[in-house]
Amino acid sequence: MRPLIGTGLKMNLTSSEAAAYFDALRPLVAPLTSCELFVLPPFTSVWVARDRLRDSNVAWGAQDVHPQDAGAHTGDVSASMLADLGCTFVEVGHSERRRDHGESDQLVAQKVHQVLRHHMTPIMCVGEPSPGSSEAALDHVLGQARAGMSMVPEQDRARVVIAYEPVWAIGEGAVAADPKFIGRVHRGLKELGARVIYGGSVDHVTAGPILAQAAVEGLFVGRAALDPKGFAAIAQLTSL
């Protein structure tokens, strides 16, 4: 399977900025056949992604979803609304949502289930809070991942993407985890039957050695992909 290279734009870019981003990214990655690509803009720009990325090799999706189909949930967005806008990926349980919105493993499990029900791919984020041994990290993330996949029937496990994102390796001032450490955690997570990608301070320098780990099936990029050239540079590494 080709590596999966994606970015979540977090709470960045207005819809007009997102349009410019997609217009810049599209030609940069158009020649690439060596990876699968996706972009997760804020909800306000999902329709822009549909308009600007249609018939391109970049899929789009959202950064969150409500676990129910419809109803009295002010401010929330349902899976059918996302599917209707052509989303194929939906991020669930990012550590910033667990932190800012108190999302539990139980809620993550319901969201993963809902995304699958609507024929999209959940990107389920897991990560240990602080640096330690790879055994301790694996223990923590296996617990999160098992809980998050508790509503996924055996035969659907391969439809899930687990994003291993050590919380301490995410965001401004952090550095990516060591590639061998990542490889060990991914090997352990592979037992759940999902695809496993890595996120946390990935840039065009750290991406190569991380991708070289056999159990790393893709990358989930934050800051380094806020510039379309940065995202394209990382994606291009898969063709070397």
Q: How far is the CB of 185 from ligand PGA (least distance, A)?
A: 15
Determine if 151 is a binding residue for ligand PGA (CB under 6 A): no
Determine the interface stretch with ligand PGA among 17-25, 39-47, 196-204, 231-239 (rule: CB under 6 A).
196-204
Determine the interface stretch with ligand PGA among 46-54, 71-79, 129-137, 217-225 (rule: CB under 6 A).
217-225
Nearer to ligand PGA, 151 or 181 (CB): 181
- Which listed residue (45, 201, 213, 236) binds ligand PGA by CB under 6 A? 201
Known catalytic residues are 94, 165
Q: How far is the CB of 42 from ligand PGA (least distance, A)?
A: 14
Determine if 127 is a binding residue for ligand PGA (CB under 6 A): no
Nearer to ligand PGA, 29 or 163 (CB): 163
DSSP letter string, the chain: -PPEEEEE--S---HHHHHHHHHHHHHHHTT--SSEEEEE--GGGHHHHHHHHTTSSEEEEES---SSSSSS-TT---HHHHHHTT--EEEE--HHHHHHH---HHHHHHHHHHHHHTT-EEEEEE--SS---HHHHHHHHHHHHHHHTTTS-GGGGGG-EEEE--GGGSSTT--PPPHHHHHHHHHHHGGGSSEEEEESS--TTTHHHHHTSTT--EEEESGGGSSHHHHHHHHHGGG-
Q: How far is CA 89 from CA 37, 38, 45, 212, in A?
A: 10, 8, 14, 24
Cβ atoms 63, 10 nearer than 8 A: yes
Determine if 202 is a binding residue for ligand PGA (CB under 6 A): yes
Determine if 170 is a binding residue for ligand PGA (CB under 6 A): yes
Nearer to ligand PGA, 46 or 170 (CB): 170
Closest CA to 12 of 235, 230, 225, 233: 225
Determine if 221 is a binding residue for ligand PGA (CB under 6 A): yes
Determine if 200 is a binding residue for ligand PGA (CB under 6 A): yes
Residue 80: both structure tokens together: 């059918």
Determine if 222 is a binding residue for ligand PGA (CB under 6 A): yes
Determine if 223 is a binding residue for ligand PGA (CB under 6 A): yes
Determine the interface stretch with ligand PGA among 38-46, 70-78, 105-113, 215-223 (rule: CB under 6 A).
215-223
Determine if 41 is a binding residue for ligand PGA (CB under 6 A): no
| Residues contributing to the site for ligand PGA (CB under 6 A) | 8, 165, 170-171, 174, 199-202, 220-224
